[in-house]
Amino acid sequence: MTPFERAAIKLARDALDVEAAQREDWLRQQCGEDAALTARVHALLRQIELDGDAATCAPDDADPLLGASLGPFRVLQRIGRGGMGVVYRGERVGEDFRQQVALKLIRRGFDFDDIRARFLRERRILARLDHPNLARFIDGGVGNDGRPWFALEYVQGTPITRWCDEHRLGLRARMRLLLQVCAAVQYAHAQLVVHRDLKPGNILVDAAGHVHLLDFGIARLLGDDDAGDAATTLAQRSVLTPGYAAPEQFGGATAGVATDVYALGVVAYELVAGALPHVVAAHDLAAAAKVLREQPPSSLTQALARDGQALAQQRLQARDTSLAAFRRSVRGDLARILDTALAAEPARRYPSVQALADDLKRWLAGEPVQVSGTAMGYRLRKFVARNRLALALGLVALVALVGGLGATLWQMREARIQRNDALAAARRADAVRDYLMLLLGDASAQKDASRVDVREVFHRGAQRLRDEFRDQPEAGQTAALMLSDLFLQVADLDGASALLEQLLQWPGIEANPTVLAHARYNLAQIEMNRGHAQRAGELLRQAQAWWHGQPGAAAVLLNESRSTQARLERAQGHPEQAIATLRSAVAERARLLARPDFESGNLLNALAIALLQDGDYEQAQARASDSHAVFVALGRADSDGALAALNSRCNAAVMLGQHESCLEDYRLIADKTRALYGEGPKLAAALHNLGAVLTRVGRYEEALPILVQARDIATAQTGPRSPLTVTLMVALAELQALRGEAATGLGLADTAIAIASADYAANKNLLGAAYRARAQAQRAAGHMAAARADVAQAGALFAQTGRSGAAYARQLEPLRAAVAEP
């Protein structure tokens, strides 16, 4: 191809991106006095018009390919075009299957040698890639007119920026979605493929929130010999997208891993701020290159407001945030991450996409990021911030110990009263204080203290407990119990269990009955959480037996243990007895104490949960309200106990059909749970409740990203087969069916039924809900007989669970009526 022809093709392609009304003026400016070049560009544009444009052609416009065949595929519809290529929706029909594909060809009039070579290279690259976030290569060949083609998985999706805006995703959810893109790009790099054209238009998100990376049209293999020749360089410059291209792409330097890192930085920046990091002229590559090389990116807050106050407010609304909250979110680590990815010099960027993804994960987890340096002050701030709950509990104990107060062990727990005989001796208090200081000192002395997890600190402390307290066994036993409490606060059941088992075997522990009783009680709670009801009962009875024989404070401890006793009774199939135990415990605590305390609120909420599980929703709602009122009166409206009570009250209201009244409370619970615990199972459960209620009131598009986020968190934190993950599969299956995405809903429901049947067959309500979700999906697909069968199966399962199942059965009735035979 001659330089003249190459220049004409570049101008014709660029002209497609100019509004039709301004196109002639733009061409005059670009071509100047060169009449031949102007004429050739016009000829190419006319050829393009003959070829057609999915955005402007009506369905009945003539197109010789429509209805024709490419290999085994029939061409059905033109769905898009790029500067040099055109894409159709195609279909292959077999005896028992029908497959939709995307068919890509070179546009007529552009089948030049270098464009053909680039197209064939794209086909070869796609054929070697296989990743869940990449459109799957299916087939390829040559058409009757000599143009090569290939078929890819047909993706129905929306550009990632628009999808996030339409679903009002917050900044954290946007970065989680970007991690899917990073995974695909990192995989491509591992196959020695650099994409070189990463931008939102090539990153689609489907209805289920799954990312698909497309268009490897200017991709190259690392180490390709022809990658740096003049023709390839010119072709590459003619098709790059200036707003997302790295500075080196403008100058003809070989594009490598750092080029894709930069583009991902631009996409991340746009997801966060709603604007690009630089303002560049799309049709003046020299000016764009100068801006990128010489000007740093705008701050994220500046970019947000770059296009005026009205648009800035729209962007904030699309991110479900306020300006103040946005500024807090983008200050510090997130800005450092993006600045590193967007460095003008490739050597200053992240060395790999994986390194970028790892820092994004650290930011999401509240951990220190790699690009923030290793200064001790920074690392300790991050250590304390990430472990603020556990360290706060430890410091409560430390303050009490330093003050020499009696029974300071029990002050670690908010609902505990003084144990007058636990730590009467100041020397024991000093010993435990020194031990705690040793643990925290070890954390800050680590080479990278900010990366040390608090669980690691506790585990190291547990390993050397016996040696530290060889000469002070009672103080050592007290410290072990204190440390087991800390393990429980950070949800490390294994760490707490191992330490408590060690404590029960500690020589001379019988001489310290206060610690022994409480160790047994803690271990009983852990065994209940693991489903080991028999051993939990034995340990609980041993602890209660000792408390029964003690005067004063032991009566309050015995009262607190009734909550675990009720859980045990429910697990043994005695729900009425569990409710009676909790009613008695609530009344007894009112007699024991002058005014309600934190544990009073917890007992009331335990009663609410028991009533909820028994199907007595009015009483459950009332007791949950009483529990919440206790926490508010204590000035603890933001505590975990208050959140749990509020959640129970909302759950009861939902079962009573009061969906709308719970929406704002569920949002509050989710926000505060995120602040207290970060991204873990508690947040996933809170988001499930919010998404499920949004589904019930018909706000499907708002519910989708919430449930997808909850499913992703649950899968990562609790595993793909946990009860929480299966519950979220059920919720997503029902939502997708209601949105009309029958195939997606069926797939989710089938998976949920398979797991629930295999792992949780005893949980009839969960399995019934899965069948109900599948019935919704069958109905959306028009399979009424199958839907009726699933409704019947769900009803039969709900009928086996007494009063709690009756509420689910009532919710099933509208669906039963909808699929009934006429």
Residue pair 495/461 in contact by the 8 Å Cβ criterion: no
* 346 & 425 share domain: no
Catalytic sites, residue numbers: 197
616 pLDDT higher than 50:
yes
Average pLDDT, the chain: 79
Which CATH number goes with the domain that contains 273? 1.10.510.10
Residue 460's Cβ-side half-sphere holds a number of Cα atoms within 13 Å equal to: 14
Q: Which two tokens stand for residue 130?
A: 């296989």
* β-pairing verdict for 85-93 and 158-159: unpaired
> Looking at residues 275-290, what average pLDDT do you find?
75
The number of angstroms, rounded, from the C-alpha of 151 to the middle of its chain's C-alpha atoms is 32
- Quote the pLDDT of residue 489: 65
Predicted pLDDT at 160 = 95
**Same domain, residue pair 303 and 340:** yes
Average pLDDT over residues 121-133: 84
**Quick one: pLDDT band at residue 571, thresholds 50, 70, 90?**
confident
Which pLDDT belongs to residue 452?
46
609 vs 383: CA distance, rounded Å = 35
Same domain (yes/no): 317, 384? no
Query: CA–CA separation, 229 vs 206, rounded Å?
Result: 38
- Could you give the dihedral angle defined by the CA atoms of residues 536, 539, 540 and 541, in that order, rounded to the nearest 10 degrees? 120
Residue at which a domain ends, from 353, 368, 383 = 368
Backbone angles phi, psi at 93, to 5 degrees: -115, 125
DSSP state letter for 372? G
Judgement on whether residues 236 and 305 belong to the same structural domain of the protein: yes
- Residue pair 546/506 in contact (Cβ under 8 Å)? The answer is no
DSSP state of 722: S
- Burial (CB count within 10 angstroms: exposed 0-12, middle 13-18, buried 19+), residue 297: buried
The whole-model pTM stands at 0.47
Phi then psi dihedrals of residue 16, to 5 deg = -65, -25
Determine the pLDDT at residue 645: 92
pLDDT for 494:
78
Please state the domain count of the chain: 4
- Rounded to whole angstroms, the maximal C-alpha distance in the chain is 106
Query: Where do we find the tokens 């988001």?
Result: 687
Contact predicate 568/539, CB 8 Å: no
Q: Is the pLDDT of residue 26 over 50?
A: yes
Question: What's the CATH number where 580 sits?
Answer: 1.25.40.10
Q: Residue 241 — very low, low, confident or very high, per pLDDT cuts 50/70/90?
A: confident
Are both 483 and 607 inside the same structural domain?
no
**Residue 21 within any structural domain of the chain:** yes
* pLDDT attached to residue 228: 42
Question: Confidence class of residue 284 from pLDDT cuts 50, 70 and 90?
Answer: low
Q: Could you please report the per-residue DSSP string of 340-369?
A: HHT-SSGGGS-SSHHHHHHHHHHHHHTPPP
CB neighbour class for 79 (10 Å; exposed up to 12, middle 13-18, buried from 19): middle
Who contacts 717 (Cβ-Cβ below 8 Å, separation ≥6)?
679, 680, 681, 684
Element (H, E) at 142: strand 137-142
- Considering the domain architecture, whether residues 515 and 540 belong to the same structural domain is answered as no
- Residue given tokens 């740096």 in the structure block: 228
Whether 194 has a pLDDT exceeding 80, the answer reads: yes
Per-residue confidence (pLDDT) for residue 553, from 0 to 100: 67
525-530's contacts with Cβ under 8 Å and 24+ in sequence apart are 525/488, 525/564, 526/488, 526/493, 526/496, 526/497, 526/500, 528/564, 528/567, 528/568, 528/571, 529/493, 530/493
Same domain, yes or no, for 444 and 384? yes
Please state the rounded mean pLDDT for residues 332-348. 89
- Select the more confidently predicted residue: 531 or 401: 531
* Better-predicted residue by pLDDT, 741 or 675: 741
State how far the Cα of 557 lies from the Cα of 410, in Å rounded to an integer: 10
Q: What are phi and psi of 98, to 5 degrees?
A: -140, 125
Domain range for 12: 3-51
Amino acid letter for position 306: R
**Strands of 148-153's sheet in order across:** 69-70, 73-81, 85-93, 98-106, 148-153, 137-142
pLDDT score of 327 more than 70: yes
Q: According to the model, what pLDDT value does residue 267 have?
A: 97
- Is the pLDDT at 383 greater than 80, yes or no? no
User: Alpha helices of 55-211 — where are they, by DSSP H?
Assistant: 113-127, 160-166, 171-190
Provide the 10 A C-beta neighbour count for residue 494: 12
Q: pLDDT band for position 218 (50/70/90)?
A: low
**∠ CA 251-257-263, rounded to 5°:** 70
Same domain, 456 and 395: yes
- Per-residue pLDDT tens for 407-461? 333 333 333 333 334 334 444 444 444 445 445 444 444 444 444 455 666 666 6
> pLDDT at position 238, please?
46
The answer, yes or no, to whether residue 395 has pLDDT greater than 60, is no
Per the listing, tokens 């794209």 go with 122
Query: Which residues have CB under 8 Å from 725's CB, separation 6+?
Result: 711, 714, 715, 718, 719
pLDDT given at position 780: 92
pLDDT at 196 over 60: yes
For residues 499 and 549, state if they share a domain.
no
pLDDT tens, residue by residue, 523-547 = 998 887 666 778 999 999 999 998 8
Backbone angles phi, psi at 535, to 5 degrees: -70, -35
Claim to verify: residue 503 and residue 537 sit in the same structural domain: no
How high is the pLDDT of residue 637? 83
Among residues 477, 507, 527, the one where a domain terminates is 527
Output the CA–CA distances (angstroms, integers) from residue 439 to 279, 386, 456, in the order listed.
51, 16, 10
Q: What is the pLDDT of residue 464?
A: 63
Q: Which helix (H) or strand (E) holds 79?
A: strand 73-81
Q: Does one domain contain both 416 and 349?
A: no
Contacts of 782 (CB under 8 A, 6+ apart): 742
Q: Say if 799 falls within a structural domain.
A: no
Q: What's the pLDDT score for residue 165?
A: 94
- Is residue 798, in this structure, part of any structural domain at all? no
Higher pLDDT among residues 784 and 59, named by residue:
784
Domain assignment present for 125: no
Whether 706 is in a domain gets the answer no
Tokens of 749: 């429901």
Predicted pLDDT at 54: 36
Indicate whether 764 belongs to any domain. no
In a domain? residue 38: yes
Instruction: Tell me the pLDDT tens digit for each residue of 763-821.
Output: 888 899 999 999 999 999 999 999 999 999 999 998 988 777 887 888 889 999 998 98
Shared domain for 207 and 355, answered yes or no, is: yes
521, pLDDT greater than 60: yes
Length of the chain: 822
Residue 205 phi, psi (nearest 5): -120, 130
Residue 558 lies in a domain: yes
401, pLDDT greater than 70: no
Last residue of a domain, one of 483, 507, 527: 527
